[in-house]
Structure 1
Amino acid sequence: MSYKGQTAFLTGGASGIGRAVTKMLVGKGIRVYVADRDLKGAQAVAEELNTGDKAVWTVQIDVADWDSQRSAWETAEAEFKRIDYVFPIAGIGERRSFPNRPNSAGYEKPDLTVLEVDCIGVIYTVSLAVQHFRRQQPNKYGFRGKIMPVASVCGFYIHQPIPIYTAAKHAVVGLVRSYGKILAEEKITLNAVCPNKIRTGISTAAVYDKAEKLGVLVPIEKLLEAFESLMGENPMSGECLEVAPQLGVRVVQFIPFINEESKISADMTYERSHYLHEPIMDDKI
């Protein structure tokens, strides 16, 4: 399906998943603003795809920094005016977050860079998108805008040796499952795409070659199917799409409430806290 005339803002588009999604969007007639820390890489993607009418713009960004994100967003907003789709894709893999020096004296601060990029960075992008979407009218499909962050199966399966990455992806899944349901009331959708192992720059070629040999590597085409399924008139919001090897794409079914009382408790939280997401008018501040 063609979405000619629509626009997108995407973080992490210089390589991996972001690059593949950018190519898919351009193929559907969507103009894309690619924001990436690697500006030269993003510009190379733009040069590859801008073969006719200009389809890709680029801007440098540090997703873990609010001012950098806001500046990049405002640059895209100035060019496009209206932004229809937002893809928070930028991310990094696990690093040695917890210090492990048994013979050292004192205590070292843990390295939380992964959490700052893969969790806080996503929250920043979502916040910018929501604030922008609230200022524009629904499009022909009935939506003010759609947000599709990349999470991971680490957001619901346990991967023992990567605790901070897993924590970050659990946080994104939790954000989507809760906030996505409220945003739907405003004609804004928020869904996460959660791939299993897919060939990107986060791990090594040897790891991906082994995964492919074992039949557990997800083809990039399956990942793109997940994103495509959420575009256009699909009203789904607050859901997580797992992209699994062999099986393909499915909506994740999470554990149900243990009993009716547990559900009532959750409903009470909704009633108590829903006001936190109501519009704040300037004359009421």
Structure 2
Amino acid sequence: MLASKGVKVCIADMNLEGAQKMANQLGNGAFAVQVNAADWDSQLAAFEKAVDAFGRLDYVYPIAGIGERKAIKNDPKATKFQKPDLAVIEVDLTGVLYTAFLAVQQMRRQEKDKDGFRGKIAATASVCGFYCVPTVPVYTSAKHGVVGFVRSYGKYLPEEGITLNAVCPNVLRTSISVPAFYDNLEKEGILTEMKGVVDAFASFLDNDISGECMEVGPNGGFSAKAPAPHLDKETTRVMDAIYERSHRLHEPEQ
């Protein structure tokens, strides 16, 4: 998507070998760095390498993700409390926020391009960020968090010449689950193809929309998923008051 437009690419991934293979295929100066998405220092080092190589970052894509784990064991005989495994939150939500906030800091230092942008950020969320999925509660919580972050911060950032959006696919064939699961969905005709996801990401490149979450379905189409409407006009006024009260948190330091 980007390389075909002549954009130079840095791929950051835990799997350095796989990322480097992809970079080699892309050519045009693409390179790979190893990163642990859940670790701030690791992400910072990756960003610094990309900035050193390119001078500026026009597009940033926080797309790291892992699937649901057993947060706590269901052991009726247990007599002690178990700390839950929240690795999914650390990667799928905290990691996305790390990437986005690194991107915002870098883009604030950059001059606007010919179209008036300092940079564009597009994250990967999931339809689990919209719907109730009872057996994957931690993953669903993380994706709801990404959707809420994008819909909120994405409506502020254009004031600074930055856009923030998300793509929310249905189930894709990835390494998150086992092949048999994807095979079964494919047989039913409800497995989402990667092309629809790429098309959704591409839709952010040449326009100024921000704060939008694109739902991508098994039929390949995508559309912006509207957030829930306010309960009444009084609620709208409360939200406006919170916006006005909190705007100072994002203003330049004096």
Match of 1:100 among 70, 74, 78: 74
Equivalent pairs: percent with the same residue? Answer: 53
Partner residue, 2:44: 70
Specify the alignment match of 1:181 in structure 2: 155
TM-score of the pair, normalised by structure 2? 0.97
Confirm whether residue 123 of structure 1 aligns to residue 97 of structure 2: yes
Q: Deviations over 1:95-118 (max 9, x none)?
A: 101222221221110000000000
Does the 8 Å contact 2:19/2:32 carry over to 1?
A: yes
**Matched residue of 2:77: which SS?**
coil
The yes-or-no answer on 1:277 pairing with 2:239 is no
Please tell me the root mean square deviation across aligned C-alpha atoms, in Å.
1.1
**Structure 1 pair 124–209 and aligned structure 2 pair: CA distance change class (3 A):** same
SS in 1 for 2:134: coil
**What is aligned with 2:26?**
49
- Alpha-carbon distance, 1:247 to partner: 5.9
The residue aligned with 1:145 is 119
Q: What are the ranges of 5 or more consecutive residues in structure 2 without an aligned counterpart?
A: none
1:200-219 equivalences under 5 Å are 200-219=174-193
| CA distance in structure 2 between the partners assigned to 1:140 and 1:213 by the alignment | 47
Query: 1:27 — aligned with what?
Result: 4
Residue equivalent to 2:59: 85
Q: Corresponding residue for 1:236?
A: 209
Find the aligned partners of 2:192 and 2:248 in 1 and give their Cα distance. 41
Which shifted more, 262-271 or 202-211?
A: 202-211
* Mean CA deviation greater in 222-231 or 196-205: 196-205
SS in structure 2 at match of 1:149: strand
* Superposed structure 1 runs of 4+ greater than 3 Å apart: none
1:20-79 Cα shifts (integer Å, max 9, x gaps): xxxx221221111111111111111122222xx42x111111111111110110011100
- The match for 2:166 is 192
Instruction: Name the count of aligned residue pairs.
Output: 254
Provide the rounded CA distance (Å) in 1 between the counterparts of 2:106 and 2:187.
44
Consecutive unaligned residues of structure 1, counting only runs of 5 or more, are 1-23
The alignment's TM-score, normalised by the length of structure 1, stands at 0.87
Q: State the one-letter code of the partner of 1:173.
A: V
